[in-house]
Structure 1
Amino acid sequence: MEDLVIGQNVLTQENKVEQASKTLKVSNVVFKGGKVTYQAGKKIVLSEFRAKGGSRVVLRIVPCANASTKAETLLNARSADIGINHLQLYPNPTKSSFVIALPLKPNAQKANSQLVEVYSLLGTTVLKKNVKPGEKIAIDLTNKPKGIYLVKYVTNGEVIIKKVIHQ
């Protein structure tokens, strides 16, 4: 299948593999104990995707059968779910830089550790930083290749991933 849209949640003890030759659009929740592998030929679009504590998610971009390179991102969410849903990225798309605005919520303030990572779809790390609730982080992509970058926010084991497009 060229393009595939996934909205069905992955429940505890479920193990799913989904593939598309071009684009995979994912907007679901992978619950604790759920395992999923998403693979696409060109891009994986994560829109409001959530990996709950204790889940396992593998994302792969495999351009074609005879390509020698591929990108794989493995997400392991390990602890309790705290329901964060207000991570903001702006402007998006961007031509040079963007801001990551972290949520400021009472339960987020009690988080033991919070981490933000920004990386390309090929796995190149742009930023890896321990952060605080409500913090705003400016990211400069001026000298980075154009394309899709993923912003991963981890707090109390919950993983939220959003994309930003560098034009």
Structure 2
Amino acid sequence: MLLCEAAAYYKSIGKSLIDVLNEIYKEFGYYREKQISLVLEGIEGQERISRMMKVYRNEFPKVIGESKLASYTDLDEGKDYDLFTGKETENIIGKSNVLKFMLEDGSWYAVRPSGTEPKIKIYIYTKSNTLEKPEEKIKVIEEIVMGKLNSVE
């Protein structure tokens, strides 16, 4: 019912819901998210996931596409790292085997092993002022992160 009321209101002022949606995108930007799961079963898979996290924790990319890494959070260590200032601060979220990386363009991604399944998960979030750019950013982040993770034997 609410949607019908909104459509009627905007029609009365000469706009469609698509017009209003485009105004929202123009003001706030376009957002895209993606979650990737890499399944690695058995003891060997569990050990490889552990190695992937260890390697990624120490050898993560500092540049992804056109964006520099601005900061990252290592919840296992309980710390936030600002790569521009070199400042290291305590993170009060709580300990967990999660790495979160923030890029200077506002995009971010996180890498973590699943707590209940034999998989490593990657979460990607992007924002841009054009419709196409967030999808392009997701592809670049996915390619670089998955390339690094898949290189770990």
More strand by share: 1
TM-score for both structures, normalised by structure 2? 0.29
User: Rg larger in 1 or in 2?
Assistant: 2
Larger RCO, structure (CA 8 Å, separation 6 or more): 2
TM-score for both structures, normalised by structure 1? 0.27
More helix by share: 2
